[in-house]
Amino acid sequence: MQFYFYFFLFPIIFAYDCEEICNITLSIMENTPIEKLKWNLIDLLYNRTSSPEYLQFSLSNPSDYFEINSTILKFRLKELDREQICPNDECLIQLQIFTQTSFIIIFQMIILDENDWKPLFTQDYIYLNIRENLPMNYPVQLPIADDYDSIKYNIDHYEFINNTDEIERIFQLEKSHDELQLKLIQKLDCELKNNYQLYIIAIDKGGWKSNVL
C-alpha cells in the first residue's frame, strides 16, 4: 500500500503600507492613567514596514506632550485632560518622528472627551427689571452657564426648578447657540403681581446639573 502526501505551499504576503511616511493614529479617552500612555514604536510599526527593529527614533521638534526613550514613545504630562490641552471641540495632537533613514512617522493622538465638567453659572442670582405690558414673546437676555466639555456632553437645556403652573403660564426659557433668553409668553401686570422668583439650572447631555441661578 502506498501513501501519498500532498503539501500545499501558501506564499506569505506582508501588507506593508508604510514606505517613506507612516501615519499612526490612536484614539485615547481623556483621564486615561498616565502609566498606560506609552507605546513601543516597533510594535506600532509591526507588519507595516520592513525591519522596524533596526530603526532609531527621535522627535523632529521638542514636544510639550511627548518624549522618546529608545523605542518608547511616552506622554509626558501628569494627566490627560482634554479641556486643558484643546480649547476647541476636536482634540488632536500630532508630531513627526524621524528615523536615521528617510522614513518618517506621523503620529496622531485623538483625545476623546469624557463628561467630567458640570455646567456652572458664575452668578448665584440676578435682578431683572421688566416693564409690564410688553408684547408676547418679548426676549430677556440671561447669562449662560459654562461647560467646557465637547459638544457631545456640553449643555443640553435649561429649566426652572420651581416650575409652577403660574411660571409655566408666563415664562419660557429658550436656548439658542450660546445664548439663553427668558421669553414672556403672557403680558405682565404689576397690579396683579409685581415680582417673581425664578430658579434656573442648566443640564448637560450627560445629565449633570449646574448650580442654581
Domains and CATH numbers, the chain: 21-112 (2.60.40.60), 115-213 (2.60.40.60)
Residue 2 is predicted with a pLDDT of 52
Per-residue pLDDT at 85: 87
Which pTM does this prediction carry? 0.71
pLDDT digits (tens, 9 = 90+) for 73-131: 999 999 988 888 887 778 888 989 888 877 788 899 888 888 888 888 888 888 877 77
DSSP 111-167: EE-------B-S-S-------TTPPTTEEEEEPPPB--S-TTTSEEEEEESS--HHH
Provide the pLDDT for residue 83.
84
Report the pLDDT value the prediction gives residue 75, as an integer from 0 to 100.
92
